[in-house]
Structure 1
Amino acid sequence: MPLNIWLLAIRPKTLPLAVASIVLGAASAGTVNVGVLALALLTALLLQILSNLANDYGDGLRGTDGHERTGPVRVLASGQVSVAQLRRAIVVVILLALTSGLALLTLALGHDLAAWLGFLLLGALSVLAALGYTLGRRPYGYSGLGDAAVFVFFGPVAVLGTGWLMRPELAAAGIWAALVAGLLSMAVLNINNIRDMAGDAQAGKHTLALRLGLPRARAWQAGLLALAVLAAERLMTGWGYLALAGLWPLAIGLKLVLTREGTELNRALALTAKGTLILTVGLALGLVTS
């Protein structure tokens, strides 16, 4: 199987969201263990790849990714990957994520049984959330709950969880950081769902954007970005003002969302993910150097 097909399946343009959450979470703790950071990044990336593969699999089986789709080609719906091949890939990524996650907990938690139980529960919930978005009898992504799940798992779970692995305490910076990461991740998903509104409506996938309708979904996008910037302002100090460089791609992405439809929103999604990474890395730099 050509590598470019699997790159298409894992959706590289969305992966900066996982990096943003982990980096910001680590920095919010005020101290960074490089080994823990590396394993946390690997685990988060594998979980997001799992979610992307499962989404391709679930939507492909349900016929959601049809000819009217305006987003990037999906590998199952386009016939580039078979059901069996994609299912095997999902199993492999689950095993890799479990291995990475256990190594992370071993390094960060030692023999703290209570912490182990808590993080094992979070890990299990993360895997279930990745699979349950489009899989199962009642996938929550088809009921408009995907945005809430993205906020929870890319915000509080990823950011505060990473911060706790660095230093077992809840810092005020972590709360603001969780809001920034969660809101910006929701903004990326909202662009995806605005772009796919026509196809989702035909497939019975009632995303939040579809429920809101185009005008209110656009207004929601502006609101998410505004709230994220307000939360980010609480973290800006010293080198953290470099985060302002992320506002430019975010602004261009918002302009596209407010004025364009269809395939042009693919660029808006990529710009918003890029802006998220730049902004959060800038904030993280300020937090670790202040």
Structure 2
Amino acid sequence: MQPQTTPHLPTVNKEKGWKVWWMLLRPHTLSAAFIPVTIGTVLALHEGSIKLSLFIAMLVASILIQAATNMFNEYFDYKRGLDNENSVGIGGAIVRNGIKARTVLNLAFIFFGIATLIGLYICLMSSWWVAVIGIICMLAGYFYTGGPIPIAYTPFGELVAGFFMGNVIILIAFFIQTETVTMKSFLISLPVALLVGAILTANNIRDLDGDKENGRKTLAILLGKKNSIIFLAGMFLTAYLIIFILLFSGLTSFWTLLVLLSTPKAFKAVKLFIGKTLPIEMMPAMKATAQTNVQFGFLLAIGLFIGHYL
């Protein structure tokens, strides 16, 4: 069943030229790719020197996989009749800007192909085990919205996205530089995973009504809107709490408390959801959630970097 256009919902503007392709990448989600790579690489500094070429390769490959995942989302949601011209939060290349669905799908596979080639270089410079993990990550990206039972349509979307885009990417970025994985690197990946999951929670709160009409069973639908907002606030709170635990356990320095500078943005994200009913009204809240991830991640990376040298 295709969702009906709400009469009083403002029409989403069509993009032109290069902006069509830029919006197809869903740039507000790409922080979920480059933040973990940066943190994992900075953590590797604590173990010794790093190879800049490996950092750049990992960064580009992760962004390509995230962008391809977004394209698969665009393609499969269109094929299932879930997107229309006024759908909020999508790239809109297919339903608004006239790009052929097959073109979007092919471009996603091209991005996967380029990421695979970059992955071969990473493996040559580190370990072939990275190839196994990379393939699993790409499969997760495809089946997030592809396949008979898309992960995004279940209550496990946040868990899967947080695990792969938070824990796994940080640990791979750390491993290719150090050839090891430590408990410290895993524990520091936890708050990042939570905030990646928070982006998905915010997305699902915004799309709750439409997802329910189309038979999805997201965590936001199971919890309900009010409890989902509380859950989002809990994810933010837990991420900050973990930083304090790491500090008091001696695993990180005082400088990691720089992440507290991102708390106003987290508070704003939660506040902006309250009392809103239309998806387009909740876009600022979702944007603030993504910004919290960016601010928290970069501040954590800076704190780890400074703490290593001071």
User: Structure 1-normalised TM-score?
Assistant: 0.91
The answer to whether the aligner puts 1:6 opposite 2:30 as a matched pair is: no
Distance 1:34 1:133 in 2: 31
Aligned-residue offset at 1:150: 0.5
2:161–2:196 CA contact under 8 A, matched in 1: yes
1:14-25 → structure 2 map (5 Å cutoff): 14-25=29-40
Distance 2:139 2:305 in 1: 33
Per the alignment, residue 131 of structure 2 pairs with 120
With over 3 angstroms needed to count, the CA separation of the structure-2 counterparts of 1:70 and 1:198, relative to structure 1, is farther
Higher relative contact order (CA 8 A, sep 6+): 1
The residue matched to 2:145 in structure 1 has which SS? coil
2:32–2:166 CA contact under 8 A, matched in 1: no
Question: How large is the RMSD of aligned CA atoms in angstroms?
Answer: 1.9
Aligned-residue offset at 1:178: 1.2
With over 3 angstroms needed to count, the CA separation of the structure-2 counterparts of 1:182 and 1:197, relative to structure 1, is same
The structure whose residues are more often helix, as a share, is 1
Count of aligned pairs: 283
Aligned-residue offset at 1:215: 1.5
1:129-148 → structure 2 map (5 Å cutoff): 129-148=140-159
Distance 2:260 2:67 in 1: 28
Distance 1:211 1:122 in 2: 31
**Runs (4+) off by over 4 Å:** none
The answer to whether the aligner puts 1:219 opposite 2:230 as a matched pair is: yes
Per the alignment, residue 274 of structure 1 pairs with 291
Q: 1:53 aligns with which of 24, 48, 71?
A: 71
With over 3 angstroms needed to count, the CA separation of the structure-2 counterparts of 1:141 and 1:186, relative to structure 1, is same
Read off the aligned partner of 2:259 and give its amino acid letter: A
Per the alignment, residue 83 of structure 1 pairs with 101
With over 3 angstroms needed to count, the CA separation of the structure-2 counterparts of 1:270 and 1:184, relative to structure 1, is same
1:232–1:283 CA contact under 8 A, matched in 2: no
Cα deviation, 1:244-270, whole Å, max 9, x if unaligned, reads 222221221121123434213222222
> Larger Rg: 1 or 2?
2
Pick which of 244-253 and 128-137 moved more. 244-253
Aligned-residue offset at 1:70: 3.7
Structure 1: runs of 5 or more not aligned:
110-114
Read off the aligned partner of 1:241 and give its amino acid letter: L
The residue matched to 2:274 in structure 1 has which SS? helix
Cα deviation, 1:152-184, whole Å, max 9, x if unaligned, reads 101221111111112122333312221011100
Distance 2:186 2:273 in 1: 28
Per the alignment, residue 243 of structure 1 pairs with 259
Per the alignment, residue 89 of structure 2 pairs with 71
The answer to whether the aligner puts 1:198 opposite 2:187 as a matched pair is: no
1:60–1:77 CA contact under 8 A, matched in 2: yes
The residue matched to 2:258 in structure 1 has which SS? helix
Aligned-residue offset at 1:67: 6.0
Distance 1:95 1:139 in 2: 22
Distance 2:267 2:59 in 1: 27
